[in-house]
Each structure stands twice: as structure tokens, then as C-alpha cells.
Amino acid sequence: MATSSAPLYREFYPLNELPYEHLFVLALEALALLKWKVTNLGTNGVVASTHNGLFAWNAEIKIVLENGGAVLQSTSAGGELVDEEKNKKVVTRLTETLTALRQKYTPDELTGKYYALRNDIYTGRARVLTAGTLTGREQLNDILSIFKPTHGYFITPILLNLNIIVFLLMAMAGVNVMTPESVDLLHWGANFGPLTLAGEWWRLVTCCFVHIGLMHLLMNMYALAFIGLLLEPKLGKSRFLAAYLLTGIAGSMVSTYSHGHTISAGASGAIFGMYGVFLALLTTPIIEKASRKKLLLSIGFFVVYNLLNGFKPGIDNAAHIGGLLSGIAAGYVFLPGLKQPRNSKLKLAAIAILSVLIISVSAAVYFKLSAG
């Protein structure tokens, strides 16, 4: 019997008269053979992880011995919001390896290996995990985890929450959640050339947190969560936040220049900026070679598809293009500091250079349009 609930896959592996201790040893031997690193060892199981590279898909593997066998579970470790049956393939590899190893060792050999491991096992945690179907609360916590700041994923959930809070405040104030009126969007900070260029420059920033309806918000937040999971662990908090805000400003400024009399709002300019940063890094050795081609294809497809879709009426493609191009520039500016992660001066210098570059160009365009 097997169950699948992305981003995890779980399967039961029966003992079939194999002693509990022997299956424990086989589990550790299988992990070693597959070159999956053990991260936690307890009295009833083991936790391990794959190491395919920072930007490649990885999994956390849990093996729990209980109820006449072992529960084998693979969970996506981050980066992808759907597993495309990758977790199932991990469990299948583990099952096949366990079955093959059962034929390799004699019972006496397995017993000897188990007693050699006892000290390691009993100094571990008492339990590794509780297998079985996830409860409703556990499933909810898994979904809500994308909104919780953690190490390596701190700025993204804050940005997600800020966008959602602004939308909820708009709804509480009576703004239509599906098709908001233009006057309401302007009241909440949307970008509109005649107002923005008349001294309300702050709209270049505030418009990045205002969304034109629920579907607009949901699509942008999905895209932001996806790129944040991939990119923030590599950039770090300060670079990620700087890139988001600065590319958002660049996108808003290009929108004002191109469609000055159109009301524009949404985080898509900044989000395209983050995809631009990632695209730039994908052309460099900073991303593992094994992951580069696949990610370049998937991210490139997302960008091209959305740019083409942006030519439809009512979509501000200028903000997308402005964000994307400034993001690509940001990626290359950040590159020296990413190559030397311990050099904080390089990181700060890159943020300063990017800030001066984008703000000065935006200011020059702003004053030129204002004068015109």
C-alpha cells in the first residue's frame, strides 16, 4: 500500500520475517550505497537527505521502523512546490536497494553490524518521526510554512505577508476584491503617471504592494514564493530585499515612462526582477553545472510565457520588462560577492552600486518626465 501527497511520498516496506534490527542495518547500508547523507539517527529510524546541489531538487528521506516493517518517506526539501513524482522515484530506489541488500548479507553479518551501531543509535533522538497519514493540522502547517520566516527563507515570507495584509486591509475598507475601482487603487498607492510625476514619487514603491483583484494577488504570490525558495538562500536577506525593492522601482519607472496614463499596480515588476537575477546567475558557474540547464529552461519558459502573455490588454508588460532587465543587471552586480561569501564588503558594495545605479537612472527619468 502506498500513499502520495505532494510534496511527499510514503510507502510501507514489510519485514517479511526479517528481524527489526536487521532491517535497521539494511536501511543504513542502503543510504550509504545511494550516497544519501544521514542527518539524524534515532532508536526507531533514520533521517537522511540527498545532495544534488543547492539549486537542484533535493529530498529528505525518513525511514521509520514500526508495526511489522518500515515506513519509507521522501519529502521535497525545498525549491519546488510540486514534486512531479520525484519523491516516489526516491522511495522506489530505496525499496529496490533494500531488497537487493537483503540478498547480500547473512543473518550473522547483519547482527554483527547492528551491535557495532548500537552506541550511535542509542545516543540519537528517541524517535525520528511518527509515520502514518498526515493530520489536517500537519497539512495546514506544511502549507502555512511558506509564510513563516526561517533561516535562509526570511525576506520572502515577510514580502508575501505584506502583500496579503495590504490586500486584506483594502477588502476591509470596502474595496472590491475581484475588480477594484480605479479610484480605490489610486487611494491605496497604485502608480498613475499624472499623480506620480506631480510629486507623489512614492507610488513607484507602494504600487508594488497593491493588487488588482484576488487572482492577481494569488498568481503573483505563487510566483514570489517559488522564486524566493530558490533564490533567497543563495542571495541572503540583504541582497534579496535590495534586489526586490530596486527592481520593483525600476519596473514602476519603466511603466510610468511607457504607459504614463495607465493605472498600474502589483508585485510583478519586482518578481520579474528576481527572476532576472536568477537568470543572470544561471549563466555563471555560481550555479551547479548539473542544475543549470534544467533551471534555465524552466525559468526561461516562465519568463517568456509571461512576457508574451503580457501583451494582452490590461497587463502592464512595461513593468515586467523593466523589472526583468534591472534584475539581470543586479545578478551580475552581485556575482563577485557571491563568489566570495565571507567578504561582507563586496556584498555591501554591490548593494550600494545597484542602489545608486537604479535610483539615479529612475530619478533622471522621473525629473525629465515631470519637466515635460
Q: Is the pLDDT of residue 32 over 60?
A: yes
**Which of 21-25, 246-250, 303-307, 312-316 ranks highest by mean pLDDT?**
246-250
Backbone angles phi, psi at 40, to 5 degrees: -160, 135
The question of whether 320 is a catalytic residue gets the answer: yes
pLDDT tens readout for residues 278-317 = 999 999 988 777 677 778 888 888 888 888 887 877 777 8
Quote the cell numbers at residue 155: 525576506
**Would you state the pLDDT for residue 79?**
52
Q: Which class does domain 2-133 fall in?
A: alpha beta
Query: Would you say 12 and 2 are in contact if contact means Cβ atoms under 8 Å apart?
Result: yes
Span 47-61, average pLDDT: 80
Question: Which position has the higher pLDDT, 84 or 145?
Answer: 145
DSSP states of 18-51 as a string? Answer: --HHHHHHHHHHHHHHHTPEEEEEETTEEEEE--
Q: Is the pLDDT of residue 135 over 50?
A: no
Backbone angles phi, psi at 223, to 5 degrees: -65, -40
**CA of 366: how far to CAs of 323, 357, 362, in Å?**
16, 14, 6
DSSP states of 192-229 as a string? Answer: -HHHHTTT-TTHHHHGGG--SSHHHHHHHHHHHHHHHH
CA distance 140 to 156: 19
Q: Is the pLDDT of residue 336 over 90?
A: yes
Span 29-48, average pLDDT: 86
**Domain locations in the chain?**
2-133, 142-371
CA distance 192 to 206: 11
Q: 123: pLDDT confidence band, cut at 50, 70 and 90?
A: very low
Q: Is the pLDDT of residue 120 over 70?
A: no
Instruction: Give pTM, 2 decimals.
Output: 0.69
Question: Which position has the higher pLDDT, 246 or 8?
Answer: 246
**Would you state the pLDDT for residue 3?**
40
Please tell me which residue in 216, 320, 326, 362 is annotated as part of the active site. Answer: 320
**Would you state the pLDDT for residue 2?**
42
**What DSSP designation does 147 have?**
G
Please tell me which residue in 49, 74, 255, 268 is annotated as part of the active site. Answer: 268
| Average pLDDT, rounded, for the chain | 86
pLDDT tens readout for residues 144-195 = 778 888 877 899 999 999 999 999 999 999 999 999 999 999 999 999 999 9
Pick the CATH number of 142-371 from 3.40.50.720, 1.20.1540.10, 1.10.1060.10, 3.30.830.10: 1.20.1540.10
Which residue, chain included where needed, has cell 500537519?
138
Question: Which position has the higher pLDDT, 352 or 261?
Answer: 352
**Would you state the pLDDT for residue 129?**
47
Q: What is the percentage of the chain residues whose pLDDT exceeds 90?
A: 54
**Would you state the pLDDT for residue 83?**
58
Half-sphere exposure of 234 (CA within 13 A, CB side): 25
Backbone angles phi, psi at 209, to 5 degrees: -115, 10
Question: Using a CB cutoff of 8 Å and minimum separation of 24, what contacts does 36-39 make?
Answer: 36/61
